[in-house]
Amino acid sequence: MSRLKSKYQREESELIDSLIRKNKRTFIIQIQLVETSKIKDHLIYDCIYVDDGVKKQVNIIAMDINDAVSKIEKVVNCCVPEATANVMLGSETLNKV
């Protein structure tokens, strides 16, 4: 895998501040697959995102990366606290098909 030039690498907090200064107040920083779920054909993703200028981190149970992004879209810009979003998106009980 190729590496970014050092001039493009900065700390996460600097990146967040830079994007907020450019009026980008809601964006995903990272989505990482962390585990399989007990729910058939589902995976658990760790997602770090900024919602209206506030950094949040949640676990998402989803079928694939597209499903994870779709689920995160439903909780951004709605003033949903991080803990509540984590329960809504990361609960196997609430995500049963």
- Residue 18 within a domain: no
- Residue 78 within a domain: yes
- Nearest alpha-carbon partner for 58 in 94, 24, 11: 94
Q: Which domain holds residue 27?
A: 23-90
Mean per-residue pLDDT over the chain, rounded:
90
How many CB atoms sit inside 10 A of residue 89's CB? 23
Query: What are 28-77's pLDDT values in tens digits?
Result: 999 999 999 999 999 999 999 999 999 999 999 999 999 999 999 999 99
- Residue 68 within a domain: yes
- Residue 96 within a domain: no
- Residue 3 within a domain: no
Query: What are 41-55's pLDDT values in tens digits?
Result: 999 999 999 999 999
- Nearest alpha-carbon partner for 92 in 40, 32, 30, 33: 40
Number of folded domains that form the chain: 1
